Chain A
Amino acid sequence: MNVPLNYILVGLLFVAWIGLFSVKDAARETNARAADLERTVSLEHGRIDDLMTEWAILNQPAYLQRLAQVNLGLNATDPRQIVTMSALPPVMLEAPTDTSSGTFFASVEGYLQMPQARERHDPYADMPRPMVRPQPQSGVGD
Chain B
Amino acid sequence: MAHGTQSRFGWAGHGTEFFENEALRRARMRLGMLTMCVFAAFTIVGLRLADISIAVQANVDEPQVTVVEQARHRAELVDRRGNLLARNIEIVSLGADPRDVWDPVDTAQRMLPYLPDTDEDRMVRRLSSGRHFVWLERRISPQQHYDIHSLGLGGVRFITEQRRMYPHSNMLAHLVGYSDVDGEGLSGLELGLNDTLQGEAAPVALSIDLRVQHALRDELAAAMEEFSAIAAAGVVMNVNTGEVLALVSLPDFDPHDPASGSSMARFNQITSGVFELGSVVKPLTIAQALEIDLVNPDTYLDVSQPVRVAGHSIRDFHRIEEPISVWEVLGESSNIGTAQIAGMIGRERQRSFLQEIGFFDQQDIEMPGAAYPLVPSNWGPLETATISFGHGLSVTPLHLTSAIAALVNGGYMIEPTFEPREETDDFARRRVISEETSHQMRALMRYVVTDGTGGNADVPGYDVAGKTGTSEKPAEGGGYDRDRLLSSFVGTFPASDPEIIVFAMLDEPQGQDHTHNFATGGWTVAPTVGRVIERIAPLVGVMPVDMEARSNRAAESQQLATLSPQ
Contacts and interface: CB of A to CB of B under 8 A. Distances in A.
A-B complex: 8 closest residue pairs judged by Cβ atoms: A79-B461, A123-B496, A142-B470, A61-B214, A56-B167, A120-B549, A79-B544, A56-B84
B440 A128 contact: yes
Interface string B439-474: 110110011000111011001111100001111000
A86 to B, nearest CB: 9
Interface string B98-133: 000000000000000000000000000000000000
Interface string B522-564: 1100000001001101100001111111101100000000000
Contacts of A87: 546, 548
A85 B43 CA distance: 88
Given A82-B544, A128-B439, A32 B496 contact: no
B58 A142 contact: no
Given A47-B142, A62-B171, A142 B279 contact: yes
Interface string B504-527: 000000000000101011110000
Nearest to A136: B451
A79 B522 contact: no
Given A24-B51, A82-B538, A134-B451, 7 more contacts: A49-B89, A60-B167, A129-B443, A131-B298, A138-B453, A139-B453, A142-B317
A127 B103 CA distance: 86
Interface of A: 3, 6, 10, 14, 17, 21, 24-25, 28-29, 32, 35, 43, 46-47, 49-50, 52-53, 55-57, 59-62, 65, 76-80, 82, 84, 87, 120-124, 127-134, 136-142
Interface of B: 29, 33, 36, 40, 43-44, 47, 51, 54-55, 58-59, 62, 83-84, 87, 89-90, 142, 145-146, 165, 167-168, 171, 210-211, 213-215, 218, 278-279, 297-298, 316-318, 320, 324-325, 327-328, 331-333, 439-440, 442-443, 446-447, 451-453, 455-456, 459-463, 468-471, 494-497, 516, 518, 520-523, 531, 534-535, 537-538, 543-550, 552-553
Given A62-B171, A128-B439, A53 B87 contact: yes
B59 A141 contact: no
A141 B59 CA distance: 78
Given A6-B33, A10-B36, A127 B446 contact: yes
A21 B512 CA distance: 88
Given A53-B84, A57-B167, A139-B455, A130 B298 contact: yes
Nearest to B326: A130
A49 B164 CA distance: 12
Contacts of A140: 317-318, 453, 516, 518, 520, 522-523
B453 A79 contact: no
Given A56-B167, A142-B279, A77 B318 contact: no
17 contacts: A14-B40, A14-B43, A25-B54, A43-B146, A53-B84, A60-B171, A61-B215, A65-B214, A79-B534, A87-B546, A121-B549, A123-B497, A130-B298, A137-B318, A141-B317, A141-B520, A142-B279
A82 B462 CA distance: 11
Given A56-B83, A61-B214, A140-B453, A124 B496 contact: yes
A131 to B, nearest CB: 5
Contacts of B298: 130-131
A62 B455 CA distance: 28
Contacts of A131: 298, 325
Nearest to B471: A142
Nearest to A79: B461
Contact of B534 (A6, A43, A76, A133): A76
Contacts of B456: 139
Nearest to B214: A61
B390 to A, nearest CB: 9
B453 A29 contact: no
A100 B442 CA distance: 53
A25 B51 contact: yes
Contacts of A76: 531, 534-535
A91 to B, nearest CB: 17
Nearest to B544: A79
A6 B26 CA distance: 14
A79 B493 CA distance: 13
A142 B84 contact: no
B58 A29 contact: yes
A78 to B, nearest CB: 8
A49 B452 CA distance: 53
A127 B218 contact: no
B318 A138 contact: yes
Contacts of A123: 494, 496-497, 545
